[in-house]
Amino acid sequence: MDRYSAVRRLYGNRDMAESTKYDLSTHLCGVRLDNPIIPASGTFGFGGEYDDFYDINILGSVSLKGTTLHARFGNPTPRIAECRSGMLNAVGLQNPGIDAVIAEELPRLRSRFRKPIMANISGFSVEEYTECCRRMDSQEQVAFIELNISCPNVHNGGMAFGTSPEAAAEVTRAARRVTTKPLIVKLSPNVTDIVSIARACEDEGADGLTLINTLLGMRIDIRRRRPVLANTTGGFSGAAVFPVALRMVYQVAGACRIPVVGCGGVESAEDVVEMMMAGASAVEVGSANLHNPYACRDIIENLPKVMERLGIERLEGIIGAAHRG
Amino acid sequence: MHVMDKVVFEIEDNAALTADVMRMRLRGDASAVKRAGQFVNIAIDGLYLRRPISVCDFTADSLTIIYKVVGEGTSRMAAMRRGERLDILTGLGNGFDAEHDCRRPLLVGGGVGIPPLYRLAKDLVARGRQVTVILGFNRAEEVFYADEFRATGAEVIVTTADGSYGRKGLVTDEVRDREGGFDYFYACGPVPMLRALCEATPADGEMSFEERMGCGFGACMGCSCKTASGSKRICKDGPVLRRAEVIWE
């Protein structure tokens, strides 16, 4: 078996899938995706770890690990704490830095992944976000830039840009100036008025919005009487956050014209349909990948069955269905 | 690219070895397990994250794990019965390098760090090495698998902190006494034990580490640690690290 046979097999499969009754394709910022499923940033590395489990070419796209200008080790361990129906993480943007991502990770992923790639950018200053966007803009293999202004696990950066409309506007405006690629801003749920922040990003030229990043949370080890996480607090994700994410997608999709990527607690094909009905054009799957590395594959396989049950032939047709009277 | 399918294992038996240490034997496709010191990640109904457990022994179609009941996940595992089925990711982590060029390896295990050394002892004996195993416990009631280790053909020394079984003292006391009698070590146990081991001997060796994990297969960066050769993920680049890589914090 040569190295491309898997890809040929995949294209064969895709042609077959397209000839069936159920159309899973969608569009995000004008880019066609074979299906709406995108592994969320931070749960999929740069793609390589999932090669052991399935051919990642079945995915709609992949959102890469959050990348900063310089390499970061991240926070001390423990970085992970389990919760009921979810988990906390305080990884703290561990990544090899944008130069290594561009020189090593992107070519490695491109050599075996033929779908649109979403680069995820983070930073600690407007200048850092801008520089990272500028460098990603010149990468032909990057289809989307996802601007992470919502990481709760780093200090003096990350989420600080996503918690006020003014700061969100400033960083979006700066990023917009240096890239012509679709710019998708990933927003924090840890705010009082998500719509005002979403509108601020839209007004400054964002092409899309991802909702939501993790909710700030905490656990205490009652035997040690200390926080479980070395960072004290962490980002809460997993099945439990789905209703919060769905509500924010619904609110923002109803208030903005740019497309929304739904993210938060998605674990099943039914969740994907629900997110799309709330207004999501595509759907990111995050923590589910960590407890079930086959989660995205399972969801993609189950979508046609769920569509059949619900009488949906074209998935894209249900985007925002819950808004229509 | 090797594609691993979802594997469901069936519990053959699940029995107590001591008051809080259990052994579970499972039947299912374990062909992805290649080396002693690798681990499996077990999905447990009602809990969000899997539970990583080291492999004690394996064949192509069976797994033996030994685990200490410490929290919600292992408590639920302890209540499982023969015939129940478990969704398990296997073949995770690097495992020990049983091919390492040495003649007289020393294996040092502390408490629930002992199980992965069992398969390693068998593999090393099968390679013709002169194997010595030191197993450390707090007291006699906690001792498990001493006879199984003896049956591998290795020389086995058990230490207990209170002297109620075997030699009184710590594994490192025994290591000091045997300095020069081994040319490489393999160890698994609590970090203070591993650190004391490295202070007790200048010999080269490798050690298996623990950390809280998210995924167990290298995707989430939840279990990263700093090493002399850069950041490593305990789940994917470890859990076994070579002595020269380890940075004690």
More reliable by pLDDT, A9 or B85? B85
Say what the pLDDT of residue A325 is: 66
* Across A79-108, average pLDDT: 97
- Partner-chain contact A73 B4, CB within 8 Å: no
Residue B59's φ and ψ, nearest 5 degrees, are: -130, -175
Please check whether residue A134 lies inside any domain of the structure: yes
A241 and A94 Cβ atoms separated by less than 8 Å: no
Percentage of chain B beyond pLDDT 70 is 99
The domain in which residue A17 lies consists of: 5-77+93-220+235-324
**Cβ separation B49–A290 shorter than 8 A:** yes
Position A25 scores a pLDDT of: 98
Residue closest to A80 by CA, chosen among B172, B208, B137, B52: B52
Q: Which residues of B touch A217 (CB under 8 A)?
A: none
In this structure, what CATH number is given to the domain that contains residue A264? Answer: 3.20.20.70
Which residue does chain B place closest to A73, by CA atoms?
A: B231
Q: Is the residue at A30 inside a domain?
A: yes
B220 touches chain A (CB under 8 A): yes
Judge whether A302 lies within some domain.
yes
Is the predicted pLDDT of residue B245 greater than 60, yes or no? yes
Dist CA B133 CA B149 (whole Å) = 8
Q: Residue A213 falls within a domain, yes or no? A: yes
Q: Do A289 and B219 touch (CB under 8 A)?
A: yes
**Band of residue B5 on the pLDDT scale cut at 50, 70, 90:** confident
Tell me what the pLDDT averaged over chain A comes to.
93
Q: Considering only CB atoms, which chain B residues are within 8 Å of A80?
A: 49, 212-214, 220, 222-223
- Decide if A151 is catalytic: yes
- Interface mutation vs chain A, best among B88, B215, B247, most A CBs within 10 Å: B215
In a domain, A104, yes or no: yes
Query: What is the rounded average pLDDT of the residues A171-178?
Result: 97
**How far is Cα B189 from Cα B172, in angstroms, rounded to an integer?**
12
Q: pLDDT of A256-281, one tens digit each?
A: 999 999 999 999 999 999 999 999 99
As a 3-state breakdown, chain A gives helix, strand, coil percent values, each rounded to 5, of 40, 20, 40
A257 is a domain residue: yes
Give the model confidence (pLDDT) of A47-69 as tens digits. 999 998 999 999 999 999 999 99
pTM: 0.93
- Which of A29, A151, A201, A296 does the annotation list as catalytic? A151
Tokens, residue A205:
């030229």
| Nearest CB to A77; choose among B212, B218, B219 | B212
Q: Which of B1, B41, B225, B233 to mutate to test the interface with A (most CBs of A within 10 A)?
A: B1
Q: Do A79 and B223 touch (CB under 8 A)?
A: yes
On the question of pLDDT at B2 being above 70, the answer is no
* Cα dist from A55 to A290, B206, B214, whole Å: 17, 34, 22
B3 contacts on A by Cβ (under 8 Å): 51-55
pLDDT above 50: residue B1: no
Contact check, Cβ <8 Å, B221/A94: yes
At residue B249 the predicted structure's pLDDT band, cuts being 50, 70 and 90, is confident
What pLDDT score does B90 carry? 96
Residue A304 lies in a domain: yes
Structure tokens at B55: 């492999």
**Assigned domain for A88 exists:** no
Which residue from A45, A53, A87 is facing B49, i.e. has the nearest CB? A87
Shortest CB distance from A43 goes to which of B48, B220, B231?
B220
Distance CA(A281)–CA(A260), nearest Å, equals: 6
Task: Please tell me the distance in Å from B107's CA to the nearest CA on chain A.
Answer: 27
Q: Does the pLDDT at position A3 exceed 70?
A: no
Q: Is B50 on the interface with A (CB under 8 A)?
A: yes
Residues of A in contact with B49 (CB under 8 A): 80, 82, 87, 290-291
Higher pLDDT, A138 or A324: A138
Q: Residue B145 pLDDT > 90, yes or no?
A: yes
CB-closest option in B3, B89, B236 to A54: B3
Residue of A nearest to B237 (CA): A49
pLDDT digits (tens, 9 = 90+) for A102-124: 999 999 999 999 999 999 999 99
Q: Tell me how crowded residue B231 is: count the other CB atoms within 10 A of its CB.
A: 16
pLDDT exceeds 80 at position A17: no
Q: What is the pLDDT of residue B7?
A: 87
Q: How far is CA B99 from CA A23, B39, B120, B148, B187, in A?
A: 52, 19, 11, 22, 15
Work out the average pLDDT over B128-151.
Answer: 97
Q: Domain total for chain A?
A: 1
